[in-house]
A = this chain, B = another copy of it.
Amino acid sequence: MRHQTESDGTGLAPASGTGLFPNPGNRAAFLELLGDIVDDYYTWHESCAGAAGPRLADSADLGAAGPRIADSADLGAARTLVRGLSEWLARESTPWPSPLYLAHMTADTPVAVSLAYLCALLYNPNNVTGETSPVTTRLEHEVGDDLCRLVGFPPAKGWAHLSSGGHAANYEAIWIARNLRGLPLAAAADPASRDLVADLPRPGLVNLPVSGILDLVDDLAGRGALARVRGLAREIHRRAPGKLLFARGAHYSWDKCADLLGFAPGDVEAVDLDRHHRIDLGALRRRVRELLERGEPIAAVVATLGSGGEGGVDDLHEIMRLRDWCEQRYDASFYVHVDAAFGAYHRTVCLDEDGSMLPYDEVAARAFPARLKPEVYEAFRCLPLADSVTVDPHKSGHVPYPAGGLALRDGRAAAVVAGRSAYFAPGDGARPAFGSYTLEGARPGAAVAAVWAAHRLIGLHVGGYGRLLGGCLATAQRLHERFRAIEGDSRLVSGYEPDLNILNLAAGRTEPDLVDRLLARLRAEAAAAPLTSLWVSANTLAGRRVLRLCVMKELAPAAVDRVCEALTLP
């Protein structure tokens, strides 16, 4: 097994095509495989329960009162309950696989991914430490390396892990950023560590470049002073946690994040959006320069690759250029976190089978029946320059919930949030237990197995995920073309060419209440006939209510026609 998972070196394998998803042709194979899985599990269970000789108690042994225990070979009440649940789910679940389901960010689940999840779930591994997840902790090291490669961080230096979702990953990133920010000042305040930062002027300490802080982390750890200085830093960032800059239209989790981590409203700077629904670079530049010139700490600048509402891709290359300029100009810098929960997997449309960036001209030729905007390509190209990236396999990665993820460009950063349990062994040396470095404690190894299977089978490159997501992008662009405001009589308008596969449709000038009427009709139709109706969501764009189409599948031309038809009022 070990051999097999490492056999292709990069962990990138070719896509296996539409046999990927459930269809009548693979139903028998699915069941057969499930039978094998259950056989393995029951055999394992019986070995565990029986091999030790003495069995678990039955109630007679300890003389317990209470109901007598009866073994029910047909599972009795369990059968009734589970069959009822199964029928209920099959009757009322949200129809993700439908070509007409374009409402939220859930993709269909490949057969192998479901099977890997089901399989690992039976053994209930907990990835807090390898002690409780011998197999899936090893898989998480592989998955972590995959995620590093996906965003462009060299795995030897970077570090990544899964989380319950994008919220937790974003919280953790800003927790790290905030804790890093206070560290140089804290070192200067610590008599036994002061010498490490003695050659830096105080203004330089406030917004020290991240690489400098990470070297300081190393130095402090080497002296056994890190815990003490981290404590001092907490006092500092309580007084001044630094400014948190993100786009006004960024994910709704950012307000929660700022509140949770103790940023007051005055610490939060919501930068305006430009007309492409990206962070306004002019406004960001002005604000960053003001803060650096005043010597006010910046905890982090958050860029978004694939905003939740609009799929907007911030101009990360320009943000990185701004950072370079600031380092040159002021000897001061800022932490860049990228929320690519939705958009990170889309980077595969630009990745060759060996994980390197394809030249721009080749992207369309290799992967993509549609146009990738040059500035979106540039943002993807510069992703490896970020300090941390949120990437959710349960969004564009086609993996079931819960599977968020966080990748750090430099794994040393995790040291500023590390903790440790007294009753878990400290890990196997080279690879410490995940639980010591993650916001969460217990984490499901089964989700890790699912991500691992998805990466292995689909492949993190242009011929794998790039193929799947390229098809979604192409479909979104086709829909955009159909709703472009060319003629005055167009009633529903796609006002911007989407950066990724989310489209917002606004009412034309003549009928301002069109969106609400359409939404009401579509919701009523979907409630009455879920499988044959169009599912969309709502969004608010520049204060106006719009229809939001999140295109998580590639649609054939006839299906595009059908979507457009459903979006016409009689």
**A11 interfacial contact with B, CB 8 Å:** no
Across the interface, A84 reaches (CB within 8 A) one of B1, B61, B446, namely B1
Q: Which residues of B contact A165 (CB under 8 A)?
A: 164, 440-443
Please state if B115 and A78 are interface contacts (CB–CB under 8 Å).
yes
Q: Which residues of B contact A81 (CB under 8 A)?
A: 4, 112, 116, 453, 456-457
Binds B, one of A117-125, A406-414, A510-518: A117-125
Across the interface, A559 reaches (CB within 8 A) one of B54, B121, B167, namely B54
Q: Which residues of B contact A267 (CB under 8 A)?
A: 238
Please state if B442 and A401 are interface contacts (CB–CB under 8 Å).
yes
Across the interface, A111 reaches (CB within 8 A) one of B78, B88, B95, B548, namely B78
- Looking at the assembled complex, report how far the CB atom of A401 sits from the nearest CB atom of chain B, in whole angstroms: 4
Complex CA distance for A41 and B88, rounded to whole angstroms: 11
Across the interface, A23 reaches (CB within 8 A) one of B33, B37, B46, B309, namely B46
Complex CA distance for A553 and B554, rounded to whole angstroms: 49
Binds B, one of A128-136, A280-288, A486-494: A128-136
A1-B88, A54-B556, A86-B36 given; A309·B562 CB < 8 A: no
Please state if B562 and A443 are interface contacts (CB–CB under 8 Å).
no
**A94 interfacial contact with B, CB 8 Å:** yes
- Looking at the assembled complex, report how far the CB atom of A249 sits from the nearest CB atom of chain B, in whole angstroms: 9
Considering the complex, which residues of chain A in the window 250-278 have a beta carbon less than 8 Å from any beta carbon of chain B? Answer: 252-253, 255-256, 259-267
Can you offer 24 A-B residue contacts whose CB atoms are under 8 A?
A: A1-B85, A19-B70, A49-B98, A49-B99, A51-B532, A52-B100, A54-B561, A55-B556, A57-B556, A63-B369, A75-B111, A81-B112, A81-B116, A82-B116, A93-B134, A93-B135, A96-B124, A106-B132, A165-B442, A179-B259, A231-B265, A238-B241, A241-B262, A252-B441
Complex CA distance for A121 and B17, rounded to whole angstroms: 22
Q: With a 10 A CB-CB cut-off, give which of A57, A121, A392, A420 has the most chain B CB atoms.
A: A57
Please state if B561 and A94 are interface contacts (CB–CB under 8 Å).
no
A65-B366, A261-B262, A471-B64 given; A87·B538 CB < 8 A: no
Please state if B556 and A71 are interface contacts (CB–CB under 8 Å).
no
**A89 interfacial contact with B, CB 8 Å:** yes
Please state if B40 and A87 are interface contacts (CB–CB under 8 Å).
yes
**A462 interfacial contact with B, CB 8 Å:** yes
Q: Which residues of B contact A443 (CB under 8 A)?
A: 164-165, 401-402
**A25 interfacial contact with B, CB 8 Å:** yes
Q: Which residues of B contact A474 (CB under 8 A)?
A: 62, 64
A56-B556, A59-B471, A82-B453 given; A402·B400 CB < 8 A: no
A23-B46, A36-B86, A532-B51 given; A56·B423 CB < 8 A: no
Considering the complex, which residues of chain A in the window 437-492 have a beta carbon less than 8 Å from any beta carbon of chain B? Answer: 439-447, 449, 453, 456-457, 462-463, 466-467, 470-471, 474-475
Please state if A99 and B55 are interface contacts (CB–CB under 8 Å).
yes
Q: Which residues of B contact A104 (CB under 8 A)?
A: 126, 131-132, 423-424
**A356 interfacial contact with B, CB 8 Å:** no
Please state if B35 and A94 are interface contacts (CB–CB under 8 Å).
no
**A380 interfacial contact with B, CB 8 Å:** no
Q: Which residues of B contact A196 (CB under 8 A)?
A: none
Please state if A134 and B25 are interface contacts (CB–CB under 8 Å).
no
Complex CA distance for A134 and B235, rounded to whole angstroms: 45
**A557 interfacial contact with B, CB 8 Å:** yes
Q: Which residues of B contact A381 (CB under 8 A)?
A: none
Complex CA distance for A118 and B256, rounded to whole angstroms: 32
Known: A66-B367, A89-B119. 18 other contacts (CB 8 A): A17-B70, A22-B42, A29-B75, A47-B531, A48-B95, A61-B554, A63-B369, A64-B367, A66-B467, A93-B135, A104-B423, A165-B440, A231-B264, A253-B441, A256-B419, A261-B262, A262-B262, A423-B538
Across the interface, A86 reaches (CB within 8 A) one of B37, B70, B76, B110, namely B37
Considering the complex, which residues of chain A in the window 225-245 have a beta carbon less than 8 Å from any beta carbon of chain B? Answer: 231, 234-235, 237-238, 241
- Looking at the assembled complex, report how far the CB atom of A334 sits from the nearest CB atom of chain B, in whole angstroms: 20
